[in-house]
A and B are shown apart, each in its own frame.
Chain A
Amino acid sequence: MRQQIPLLITFIVGTLLIVSVFIPPFGDLETTFNIWFDIIAVFAFFLGGGNLLRVHINKLRKRKRDWGFSIVTIVGFLVMLIAGLFKIGNPGDIASAVDAPGSLFYDIFNSVQYPLSATMYSLLAFFVASASYRAFRAKNREATLLLIAAFIILLGRTPFGVMLTYWVPDSTSLLQIPNLAIWIMNSPNLAGQRAIMIGIGLGVISMSLRLILGIERSYLGGDK
């Protein structure tokens, strides 16, 4: 029972969505299921938020290493939650948008969340540079090709790339680095992308079939 019902649900829902493509009256099924999917996601986030609180409260209670930062995380979470759910400081009433300019939620997003996330991702520039220094040694032909392609794309998108090859005559304009970068993006890169996309497509189709037909059951976990 515990395994059979979920397998049956997966089979029926998956099959219905495939059939809906071929039978017009079922066409709206995709939209309906997508909305249900979004509603379920909220409840999954309830679980996620609860789990975040549980983990950090446990850390706090047991006075684990760096427990002080758990207080910061909990406070940050609750402040954002209260600011957003109660729409504190919203210029309109409760019916106005949660992220209306002037609201506390909007201010926290702009002065805390956005700078933090942008800086966190920008930090990757340094790590990518350091990783590429170690990985990009042209040890063999494949690595050399990767290195050259990356280098041309990087140079082609900067004024320095234009400056380097501006003297190349128009008759051989493909050899100008910006044009070469465009050609690489539109031809060999496109070919590789297509091969990867078709490969991913075939992989997704086979995995979807395995799931719908109940061959792949790992998502159900154990038999408890």
Chain B
Amino acid sequence: MEHFALWLSAFLTLGILSFLYKDNPWYKLSEAIFVGISAGFWFVTLFWDNLVGKFWDGWQDEPMLFVGAALGFLMLLRLVPKIGWISRWPLAFIVGATSGLWLMNYLASNIMVQVQATIQPLFSISYASGFDAGWGAIISSLVIVVGTFTGLVYFFFSKEHKGAFGGAARVGIFFIMITFGASFGYTVMSRMSLLIGRMDFLLGDWLGMIG
């Protein structure tokens, strides 16, 4: 069984990689399996974790869970054309809950915390230690303050980017470009590590060419 699983994994891995040559039946077969298996995987996982784990095992202690199940059931009414409009109710609940949650969470984590972390003293002066900061730290802090401020200026589209405002926006673009470059570098690294993992599987686990 283990041997079969190993060969099956290798067959499917090579099937997906064969797309690098061109779209072909081997790739399409692997892709079709991936779609079916993935849909089944998430279906089963949600069924056991959410429906059984959260609703079925908990409704005796918390009857209010039936409201969630009822809303979920209403979603299925989409399949009945005459009363399909009722399926908007659970959708409205999801939209309302997401809006309410995100409004407060984003206000706290994306705005308050970030602004607070940006507005920090560049250095400290005390009788005991005197002037306490390295020039490197001061420059880095200034870069963060200037970068955050000018980046925000760039995102402010209600005023035309001209004059001093346009200059600040231009500096902001430079910082945003560095951010995109860094994110790109990280993405490439993560994809490469996945590729190395698959090569390691093919050459090591399957063919036994590397130890």
Contact = CB atoms under 8 A, between A and B. Distances in A.
Interface residues of B, number: 116
Interface string A37-62: 11111111111111010000000000
A72 B147 contact: no
A124 B111 CA distance: 33
Contacts, number: 392
B43 A212 contact: no
A148 B177 CA distance: 10
Given A119-B13, A122-B195, A184 B68 contact: no
B29 A198 contact: no
Nearest to B38: A113
Given A191-B148, A192-B147, A201 B13 contact: no
A123 to B, nearest CB: 6
Contacts of B180: 146, 149, 192
B92 A39 contact: no
Interface in B1-52: 1, 5-6, 8-9, 12-13, 16-17, 19-20, 28-51
B65 A35 contact: yes
A73 B17 CA distance: 19
A150 B33 contact: no
Q: Is the interface of A mostly helix, strand, loop or mixed?
A: helix
Contacts of A107: 1, 5
Given A39-B65, A39-B69, A198-B111, A205 B103 contact: yes
A37 B50 CA distance: 10
B178 interface: yes
Contact of B54 (A38, A73, A196, A219): A38
Interface string B175-200: 11111111111111101101101100
A47 B80 CA distance: 12
Contacts of B110: 197-198, 200-201, 204
Interface stretch (B70-78, B124-132, B159-167): B70-78
Contact of B34 (A85, A120, A126): A120
B96 to A, nearest CB: 3
Given A128-B191, A132-B184, A112 B37 contact: yes
B210 interface: no
A198 B156 CA distance: 12
Interface string A75-92: 111111101110000000
Contacts of B109: 201
Contacts of A154: 185, 188-189
A125 B178 contact: no
Contacts of A201: 106-107, 109-111, 114
Nearest to A135: B184
Contact of B78 (A32, A47, A193, A219): A47
Interface in B96-154: 96-104, 106-107, 109-111, 114-115, 117-118, 136, 140, 143-152, 154
25 contacts: A5-B92, A10-B92, A13-B96, A14-B100, A37-B94, A38-B68, A39-B68, A39-B72, A49-B39, A52-B35, A69-B31, A73-B36, A84-B43, A84-B48, A125-B188, A125-B191, A149-B177, A187-B140, A190-B144, A192-B179, A195-B150, A195-B175, A196-B179, A197-B114, A204-B106
A-B CB proximity, top 4 nearest = A191-B147, A195-B151, A76-B36, A80-B40
Interface of A: 2, 5-7, 9-18, 21, 30, 32-50, 52, 66, 69-70, 72-81, 83-85, 98, 105, 107-113, 115-126, 128-129, 132, 141-143, 145-154, 157, 174, 183-202, 204-205, 207-209, 211-212, 219-221, 224
